[in-house]
Each structure stands twice: as structure tokens, then as C-alpha cells.
Amino acid sequence: MSILKEINHTDLSESRTEHDSMGDVQVPINSYWGAQTERSRNNFKIGPKASMPEEIIEAFGFLKKAAAFANKDLNVLTADKRDLIAKVCDEIIEGKLFAEFPLVIWQTGSGTQSNMNANEVISNRIHVLQGNEMGEGKLYVHPNDDVNKSQSSNDTFPTAMHIAAYKILIDVTIPGIEKLRDTLRVKSETFKNVVKIGRTHLMDATPLTLGQEISGYVSQLDHGLKALRHTLDHLSELALGGTAVGTGMNTPEGYDLAVAKYIADFTGLPFRTADNKFEALSAHDALVESHGALKQIAVSLMHIANNIRMLASGPRCSIGELHLPENEPGSSIMPGKVNPTQNEAVTMVAAQVMGNDVAITVAGSNGQFQLNVFKPVMAANFLQSARLIGDACCSFNEHCALGIEPNYDGIKKHLESSLMLVTALNPHIGYDNSAKIAKAALKDNKSLRESAIGLGLVTDEQFSEWVRPEDMIGTIK
């Protein structure tokens, strides 16, 4: 692990002098970063805990390693430099050097300083691995000329965005959604014969089964997963090889294909070079599209979690048709109170993802000419949404969905007292007569049976034959 985890990065009482094209700057003595990183660290002190996401840093490890291999294959980098760069990139991928990336999201919109942060860390770490002291002697592997060879911040950062976005969707988001979807599918089958009252407009409606109700949630998540997977193809396109404006200036022929293949090999994911590098640099429609699918899932999760907590509301003075797991006390003043906390967490996550989608939409629509300069905020919001949804689905599944059980007494009570069962009489006595029965029952506080017989519109036998909730649920599974 980095020795920087043991020092205060803001303390320059022990420092070394680094030099770049703008002059000298003091850098913490043991840091692996250099002048350009330090300038950014000092110039963008914006927001608490707004560090560049670790997923982006890991992605830089993959792409810098791939670039070194491609450059060696194309004879513009020596084998020993390739191997040294690869060794440090492996440390980055393993998370050993994350402390060496102190920059915040709120920096240049191209992510230039974060790209240079990676270049400097790799170069200086190699210097130390070769037995040298920081700040002493000439660097064998130059941050710009070697680590950044055939690259520009303008094509490395969007490449890192796509690597990070694709990986987190595959590793975290999709598995989390699938886990919750699968649990709800089992619940839908388990409760397929539990007949309950339906509700529309927050008012009583005709019956359905609890399994049918939950099947709607399963279908929502299935559609969301389908939409999300569809976006992976666009995310698999990488900008690397476009360099500054998409033309590929200063890259050897075939570099873009070679570097994409290495990234695919190193990550085990089907990355490929972008068909159009100009789009890949100036627009980030792939992230907008993919986050749109995340927003769709957030909408579904908001709907599902709200419905479940309302169906479980009570336990005695509200709907009370579901029992949810009791995970922790719900009040510091009301003994015995238990709240649907997992549902609340999911709905807050959904709200955050919807907000993130606004930021990504605005950022994605504002790329000017050959470069979108909202890259870091798009990456940060996307990665937060993807992780939140994956984690929230796992948490909701484990601490709520798996333990959902019907409250049979509550379901029976509402089913038997619902006025909308009168709908079953429509084919026999007509809409108007059925409405008379329902209104009379409500006004006189009587059952539908009592009202129907009292009005002389049906007999007791006819009511028993025609008003059967279990026959009103249709054939849809």
C-alpha cells in the first residue's frame, strides 16, 4: 500500500520541488504525484469528499497498461518500459495506489489533471522501484513521453469512463437487480393463489392475487434489465486512439485497434475501438443512454418499494396486507414501533439517481465542438447511480423482499368488505343496478349481499353464485 496513507497530504513542511512548463511547485515529499497533480490539488479546493471515483482510477490502470503494450507492439516503446509501466498499473488496478490520486471531480472538464495524475504516479513509482529517492535524479520513464505515449487526456478520460461504467454495471448493478428480481419472482409464484382486493386511484377496485400484483414488479425489473443490457454495446466503444480531437494525431497506425484489444483482454470484457472517435470525444451519448436505463430502474424501484410499504402499512390502523421483516426499532419515543426502513432507503436511492440523471443530461448536452468538458461530473454521477442501485437492490432483497409474507387476516378483511366486488354483477343486472347496490351499501353501512337482497335486485343464491372473488382474477399468471 502507498506510504501516503500515513501522511497528511496538505502538510508541505516536508516537501520536494517539482518542475513543469509553468515553473516550480512544492509537492509532499513522499507523494508519487508530481507538479501538474499538485497544481490541480491547490487550484480546485471544491467540495468535501469529492474525490475522483476509485473506479475511474482503476480504469486508468487498465488503459495505461494496454497503451504500453500496444505501443511496444507498434515499436514506439521499449519492452523494459512497457513492463515497468505494466507493473505499476497492476498495483493501481489492485487498489494499492489509490491514495496517490488526491484530485477532486470539480477540475477541468476533460479530466486532464487526473490523466496527468496517473502519468506522474506511474512514472514516479517506477523511479522508486528502480531504487531511487523521490525528487532525485532523472526519471527513466517520462510521464508524458512514455506513460502518455499515443494518448491525450481527451481520449483517455472518456475511455476510463466507459471502462468504469461497463465494469460496475456488470459487477454490481445488474447482479443486484437480478437478485431482487429473482426473489420477487419466487414470491409471485408462492402467492399466486392469495386472492386480495385491487386498488386503483388509491380506491378499492376488483380482485387480483398477491402473486399477480408482485408479477408486475418482476416485469418492471425485467424490462429495466433488458434496457440496461442494451446500452452495454455502446458503452463497449472506446475513445482511445482519437487523441486530441478524434483524428488520432501522434498515434502509430493500428494503435486504436491494438489498445482496445488489450483492454478487452485485461478486463475480460468485450471492449472495442469506437467506430467514430469524433463522437467518442465530443459527445457522451453512451453514458446518457445507459444512465437513462438506470433512471428507468430507479423509477421502477420507487414504485415497487412504495407499493410494498403501503401494503404493509399499519399494522392495525392502515392497509396491513403484508408482513415485512422487523429489522430495528423504528422510534426513539414510541416503544414497539417498527418502520419499513429498507423501503425508505430504496426510495431515497431512487430519488438520488433521478437527480443524477438531470446532471448527466445537462452535462451530456453541453459538449462544444470537438470535446465535451463535463466528463468528470458525468462519470461521478453515473458511477454513484450504478453502485447505489446495485447495493440498494441487494440490501432490499436481503432485509425485506426475502421476508415478505401475506397478512392473511388483513387481506381477507379488505376483500370481504370491498364494494367493488359488485362489478361481478354487471353482466347479470347491469351497471346502473350494480351501482345502486354499491351506493346503498356504503350509505347504510351494509354488506353488498345485504344491500343487493334488500333492493330486490338479486337473490341470496344468485349473489353467492355470481360474486366469487376467486373467479374474478382472470387467467393471467
Catalytic residue list: 201, 331
CA angle 233, 239, 243 (to 5 degrees): 175
- 178, 395 in Cβ contact below 8 A? no
Annotated binding site for substrate: 110-112, 142-145, 152-154, 200, 332, 337-339
C-alpha 204/C-alpha 13 separation (Å) is 71
Q: Which among 300, 326, 312 has a CA at the least distance from the CA of 389? A: 300
Q: Smallest Cα–Cα separation from 192: which of 406, 410, 420, 397?
A: 406
How many helices, marked H, and strands, marked E, lie in the chain? 17, 8
**Which residues participate in the annotated binding site?**
110-112, 142-145, 152-154, 200, 332, 337-339
User: Alpha-carbon distance 117 to 321, whole Å?
Assistant: 56
> Within 13 Å, how many C-alpha atoms sit on residue 363's CB side?
24
